[in-house]
Structure 1
Amino acid sequence: MKGMIKVTTIAKVFGDLNKQFINGVWKEGSSRTRADIVDPYDNSVLTEVVLASKEDVDEAYRTAKEAQEKWSGTPKEEKVRVIEKAMNILEENKAEVIDNLIRESGSSTLKATIEVQAVLGIMNEAKTFPNRMEPVKISSPIPGKENHIFRKAAGVVGIIAPFNFPFHLSMRSIVPAIATGNAVVHKPDLQTAISGGAIIAKIFELAGLPKGVLNVLITNSAEIGNSFIEHPIPRVISFTGSTPAGRKVGSVAGENLKRVSLELGGNNPFIVLKDADLKQAVNAAAFGGFLHQGQICMSINRILVHRNVHDEFVELLVDKLSQLPYGDPKNPEVIIGPMINEKHIQEILSLVKTAKEEGVTVVLEGKRVGNVLTPIVLTNVRNDTTIAQTEIFGPAVSIITYDSEEEALKLANDTEFGLSSAVFTSNLKKGIEFAQKIDSGMTHVNDQTVNDEPEAPFGGEKNSGLGRYNGEWALEEFTTMKWISVQTEDRQYPF
């Protein structure tokens, strides 16, 4: 592998945003607990935060409820204006946001740039939502009756976002919720609370969003328990994270009769049919498996390769991955940066150790250099091995051999997850037919698994979640429908 790249550049730290944002006011949390937010590359402290308490959760929700009714009734032109101004502010400060993502989440320049562009995309889509909430009139079989269907904001939305794409996976829920007239209380992951929360609050504050419509709490579940989910005010809980955590969120929300949107884990298959363009398939596999060190719910976990092309594919993939530059992501040439924390590093190393014990071959060993894990490629993997049935969430892929397309499809679907998938073939008709049979929310033909477009439905099947984000599907998640009928002439009743 290429030598590790070392840099000494220190990016700007958003130290003035290390506070709670409640009712338009930046203030310290009322907890007695303090926490450091660190650079995952070198563990240097970026800032210290006094965490929000259960009392802060209650204040934020009550504030949101008070603000929501007025915001819901705000003219749609004003809602669009606020979102457009927020987009302009982000465009003007794009470099600083990217810089913060690099330092706080260990993002490469490439990944951070992709993330910011994704945010601009969902904001551009969401600004159309206020104009897509017009009432509709439908016919009635009852003489003289008019049926009017009104789309209304759900009310107050609680949003919980993860560390890996903190800016985008927060904004993906926040801006559609705001655009449809809701108020929001948002809890970003503590590890990336600035880029995943505070920066968003600042952008909307500068854009003129009324106080209380967006509130951001920096805390963790150890401090506030289930209070964020079970609080009586929010009607919708939007959660992105692991499947085990999502089960708990869904359970608590269900007990309190709240709607949930859950985007959870994946174990995403990448199928290489024997007629595939191998060089392009390798390029796609490298990107889809190792962008952001594989710390993406959509990342490729299992690569299913036809036996006839297996050896050539493996050789090409190992050669490409061996050349990816790694090290400090503050160097714009770096592709493989640090894992988010020590716990995740140990989880990957443990999975690889178990795989070896189960007879798997490691053809690209990878290595640990500080908090960086370089790419790992495993072959002779059976679909029932631990690593093949686990969401890896790190820079490692498993390669599984198959002999027929029927076997490949069976292997692809033999998992509890169903988020994303991909299939490579020179026969596009066959590729589409194959894609329709994969039990996942998203499948990409002649592309990799990491795709997210603002107008396309994003979400999974099975244990990968409930609901869909983006486009008209996000509109459904954050609104509710009301039927109002008007009897314009006397109705004749049977008694």
Structure 2
Amino acid sequence: MGLDIQALNKQYIDGVWRDGQSGKVYLDQNPYDDSVVAEFRMASVEDVDLAYRAAERAQLAWAKVNPFEKRDLFERVVRIIDENTEDIVRWIAEEIGGTFVKAMIEVMLVKNTLREAATYPLRMEGRILPSTIPGKENRLLRLPVGVVGVISPFNFPFCLSMRAVAPALACGNGVVLKPNEASAIVGGTLIAKLFEEAGLPKGVLNVIVTEIGQIGDAFIEHPVPRVISFTGSTPVGRHIGEVASRHLKRVALELGGNSALIVLDDANLEQAVDATVFSRFTHQGQICMCANRAIVQRAVYDEFVARLVDRVASLQCGNPLDKDTVIGPLIHRRQVDAVLRVVEESVAQGAKVAYRGPVEGNVVGPIVLTDVTEEMACARQEMFGPVLAVIPVDSEEEAIRIANHSDFGLSGAVHTQSVERGVAVAMRIESGMVHVNDGTVNDEPLVAFGGEKASGIGRYNGEWALEEFTTVKWISIQHERRSYPI
């Protein structure tokens, strides 16, 4: 693309790059050194309306584009990403503090999402169903919903924006994307640029960058979008669900988590420790699927903790532009303070600090809390930071009970050398996703992704995304004269 990151500091509305009409300027800062990555003049309520109206107009023609042409466009986006991976990885580090490993994982997930979405235009199939009425033909058609509003978070913004944007577009919808302002580029305007370069018609995809203080609920309440896709915190998700329901809009909500990684007494501890480190400390613990809690049977508890602390002590912290860095900065100082408050509260409640790394700026070194009980703050709250709560339990039954003692139900994991034992435990975990002998952080393009309880509504990926972003229409044809009862 040959673009510098600063060139993506505009709103993208109806195919035009321009400043927002709000009077406020947002400084998009690097969370590692606080340098300014870009400045955005924020969007206003008027910009929201312009974006939705543009998507509404453009969608009608986009829905009629040959499905093979749509597929080819998505494949071009993948090629453009391949050609610019080095820049994208650097931008993920500069804008949100993502490490090299995290950024490469995110790019891989985005490409998988796009490749799966490329198949959707060819899967907008119809069906003919039998009728109870003589001479009637029932046709069932899968159609775009029209326009989809997408709100994405700061933590995995390239991936989590694309996870909704790509399938919504592929199903023939228009889209308006509002990324978190802290990830306005890699979660928003970069995506607009990729699709623009690939040849997406103007107006089909629009990106607005703004704060809720500038637009209130206008993004949700606007009459044009029929589906609102949101990834983020549970309190905000509840609000979006309430507002959308008043306007009879469908929602897809992927919300918070408090995932439990269970280590049973027959687990392979080396494998369990590897999975725990990956599940808790990838992207500084700023992933909704992260293992907040390691629930470990006492028979292997001491050895597990010793191995875990040894591994955690070796994790390099610091500048995310250094390819050896494992733990980079949290997104901003407020998040640092929030994480440290939970740690101090838990210690006051009786948790022991088995390992505590240094805090330098927004970089919080890894923290392992042991002898945690289920009522402590670190076991009850979603900690969006590199802190792990290790809970000892006496039995498998106790492990299951404590794992389910949470308002959340997004992901989970079970470690045991008996696969069927692991599956039996997984079946009893109240969670949308559970992984046996693996980490809690998993996402695959063909597999349903989503949570239970306060972790959300709906499913992404594969055929489930196709359902979320389409509607079904029944057209019947009466081929013979019908005899009516009156």
Give the TM bin, normalised by the shorter chain.
over 0.9
**Which of residues 195, 198, 210 is equivalent to 2:201?**
210
Query: What residue number does 2:22 align with?
Result: 31
Is contact 1:13–1:100 with CA below 8 Å preserved after alignment?
A: no
Unaligned stretches of 5+ residues in structure 2: none
In structure 2, what is the Cα distance between the partners aligned to 1:382 and 1:434?
Answer: 20
RMSD: 0.8
Structure 2 CA distance for partners of 1:41 and 1:13, relative to 1, 3 Å: farther
- CA distance in 2 between counterparts of 1:255 and 1:441 reads 27
Match status 1:63 vs 2:54: yes
**2:189 aligned with 1:198:** yes
Q: Does 1:437 align with 2:428?
A: yes
Deviates more, 1:164-173 or 1:143-152: 143-152
Deviations 1:258-290 (A, max 9, x none): 100000000000000000000110000000000
C-alpha distance in structure 1 between counterparts of 2:455 and 2:357, whole Å:
29
Distance 1:439 1:142 in 2: 44
Instruction: Report which stretch shifted further, 265-274 or 481-490.
Output: 481-490
Counterparts in 2 of 1:76-87, with a 5 A limit?
76-87=67-78
Q: Give the counterpart of 1:461 among 416, 435, 452.
A: 452
Q: Residues of 2 paired with 1:56 and 1:415: CA distance?
A: 40
1:353-372 pair list within 5 angstroms: 353-372=344-363
> 2:403 corresponds to which letter in structure 1?
A
Distance between the aligned counterparts of 1:284 and 1:356, measured in 2?
A: 25
Structure 1 residue 13 displacement after superposition: 5.0
Q: Is the 8 A contact 1:13 1:46 kept in 2?
A: no
* Alignment-mate amino acid for residue 335 of structure 1: V
- Alignment-derived partner of residue 375 in structure 1: 366
SS in 1 for 2:307: helix
Distance 1:219 1:484 in 2: 41
% same residue: 52
Work out whether 1:118 is the aligned partner of 2:106: no
TM-score for the superposition, normalised by structure 1: 0.97
1:146 partner SS: strand
Partner residue of 1:54?
Answer: 45
Q: Any idea what SS the aligned residue of 2:188 has?
A: helix
Task: Please list the CA deviations of residues 327-380 of structure 1 after superposition, one character each: whole Å capped at 9, or x if unmatched.
Answer: 101010100000000000000100001001111111112220121101100111
Query: Could you list the per-position Cα deviations for residues 419-459 of structure 1 after superposition, in whole angstroms to 9, with x for gaps in the alignment?
Result: 00000000001111111110000000000100000000000
- Residue 411 (structure 2) aligns with: 420
Q: Name the SS for the 1:398 alignment partner.
A: strand
- Paired amino acid for 2:395: S
Q: For residues 137 and 213 of structure 2, what CA distance do their matches in structure 1 show?
A: 52
For residues 481 and 437 of structure 2, what CA distance do their matches in structure 1 show?
61
Partner of 1:236: 227
For 1:145 and 1:102, how far apart are their aligned partners in 2?
A: 60
The answer to whether the aligner puts 1:390 opposite 2:362 as a matched pair is no
Give me the whole-angstrom Cα distance separating, in 2, the residues matched to 1:13 and 1:195: 12
Structure 1 unaligned regions, length at least 5: 1-11
Alignment correspondent of 1:147:
138
Q: Check conservation: 1:41, 1:371, Cα contact below 8 A.
A: yes
Give, as a single letter, the amino acid of the residue that structure 2 aligns with 1:83: F
Aligned residue for 1:442, secondary structure, equals coil
Confirm whether residue 268 of structure 1 aligns to residue 242 of structure 2: no
Indicate the residue corresponding to 2:398 in structure 1: 407
1:93 to 52, 62, 84: 84
Q: Please give the per-residue CA displacement for 1:307-344, whole angstroms capped at 9, x wherever unaligned.
A: 11000000000000000111101010100000000000
One-letter amino acid of the counterpart of residue 349, structure 1: L
SS at match of 2:74: helix
Q: How does 1:164-203 map to 2 (within 5 A)?
A: 164-203=155-194
Query: The residue matched to 2:184 in structure 1 has which SS?
Result: helix
Task: Give the alignment partner of residue 466 of structure 2, picking from 457, 472, 475.
Answer: 475
Q: Distance in 2 between matches of 1:298 and 1:478?
A: 23
Q: Which amino acid aligns with 2:464?
A: W
Who is 2:296 aligned against? 305
Q: Which amino acid aligns with 1:355?
A: S
Which stretch of structure 1 is more off in the superposition, 284-293 or 88-97? 88-97
Q: Using the TM superposition, give the Cα deviation of residue 493 of structure 1 relative to its aligned residue in structure 2, in angstroms.
A: 2.3
Deviates most, 131-140 or 202-211: 131-140
SS of 1:169's partner is helix
The Cα shift of 1:381 comes to 0.8
Q: Which residue of 1 aligns with 2:240?
A: 249
Cα distance, 1:386 vs structure 2? 1.6
SS, match of residue 172 in structure 2: coil
